């Protein structure tokens, strides 16, 4: 409040100084003293001149400070946008149906399309294709859990899948036997991915995964830190 009052007084003094200067200019035009000589003969006018100089300096200071603050605000907004842009996380499950439903087996390799979405921050996972497209280069945490049920004892269990990037296998569990009716496995990896890389889960020939609303089959990933 005191600063506002002080600025108001300074502004009033500035207006007064302008009026005084015009008066002196008229006197100069009529042969009177010039404003430069006023400080030598009139202490009041000299005080106004000094006040006007101080106001000018304060205006320059405030303008410079305001410009610096605007620049800092722009930098902060850029950093904030980068942080928001780096948010990338998804977690999906094979299905959300009440009854147990199996995906496969097929005669050819198939990309598993996980239809139930827990989170898809950044919308980089496509439930129609089953592909997570890396939005930003960095180190990502990837996790895959698979589950399969042979249906009854004696049937062949084929619980297998592969976590892949751009069609290249990174890792994947494989369980093919007639001893277990059901089985599950989980893998967790930290990998460096580049923007545009395509991460997916491949279902090899003859393998099948089974799931329901309990979500036995999940596929997840999130950005640990960016390397842009």
List the structure tokens of 112: 């598993």
* Model confidence, pTM: 0.63
Residue with tokens 């990998």: 191
Q: What is the mean pLDDT of residues 114-126?
A: 95
Compute the distance between CA of residue 162 and CA of residue 144 in angstroms, rounded to an integer: 9
Quick one: pLDDT at residue 165? Answer: 97
Closest CA relative to residue 104, chosen from 170, 182, 158, 49: 158
Q: Specify the higher pLDDT residue, 52 or 93.
A: 93
Q: Specify the higher pLDDT residue, 69 or 194.
A: 194
> How many other β-carbons are positioned within 10 Å of the β-carbon of residue 192?
11
Q: What is the mean pLDDT of residues 57-71?
A: 81
With beta carbons less than 8 A apart as the criterion, state whether 189 and 222 touch: no
| C-alpha of 4 from chain center | 40
Q: Is residue 24 scored above 70 in pLDDT?
A: no
List the structure tokens of 6: 């002080």
Compute the distance between CA of residue 8 and CA of residue 15 in angstroms, rounded to an integer: 11
Residue % of the chain over a pLDDT of 90: 43
List the structure tokens of 111: 């990309």
Beta strands 162-165 and 198-203: pairing type?
antiparallel
Most confident of the ranges 34-43, 53-62, 107-116, 146-155: 107-116
User: ∠ CA 226-222-78 to the nearest 5 degrees?
Assistant: 40
Q: What is the pLDDT of residues 79-117, one digit of tens each?
A: 666 656 567 999 999 999 999 999 988 999 999 999 999
Quick one: pLDDT at residue 134? Answer: 96
Residue with tokens 């923007």: 195
| Least confident window among 76-80, 130-134, 159-163 | 76-80
Compute the distance between CA of residue 49 and CA of residue 46 in angstroms, rounded to an integer: 5
Compute the distance between CA of residue 91 and CA of residue 144 in angstroms, rounded to an integer: 10
């Amino acid at each position: 409040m005191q600063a506002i009052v002080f600025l108001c007084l300074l502004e009033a003094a500035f207006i007064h100084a302008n009026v005084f200067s015009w008066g002196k200019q008229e006197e100069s035009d009529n042969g009177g003293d010039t404003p430069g000589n006023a400080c030598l003969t009139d202490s009041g006018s000299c005080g106004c001149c000094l006040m006007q100089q101080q106001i000018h300096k304060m205006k320059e200071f405030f303008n410079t400070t305001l410009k610096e603050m605007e620049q800092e605000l722009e930098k902060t907004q850029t950093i904030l946008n980068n942080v928001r842009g780096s948010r990338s996380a998804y977690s999906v499950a094979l299905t959300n149906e009440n009854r147990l439903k199996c995906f496969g087996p097929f005669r050819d390799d198939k990309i598993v399309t996980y239809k139930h979405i827990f989170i898809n921050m950044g919308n980089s996972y496509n439930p129609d294709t089953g592909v997570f497209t890396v939005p930003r280069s960095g180190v990502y945490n990837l996790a895959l859990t698979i589950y399969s049920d042979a249906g009854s004892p004696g049937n062949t269990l084929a619980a297998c899948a592969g976590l892949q990037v751009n069609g290249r296998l990174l890792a994947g569990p494989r369980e093919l036997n007639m001893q277990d009716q059901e089985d599950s496995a989980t893998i967790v990896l930290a990998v460096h991915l580049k923007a545009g890389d395509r991460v997916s889960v491949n279902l090899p020939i003859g393998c099948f995964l089974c799931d329901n609303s309990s979500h036995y089959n999940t596929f997840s990933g999130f950005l640990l830190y960016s390397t842009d």
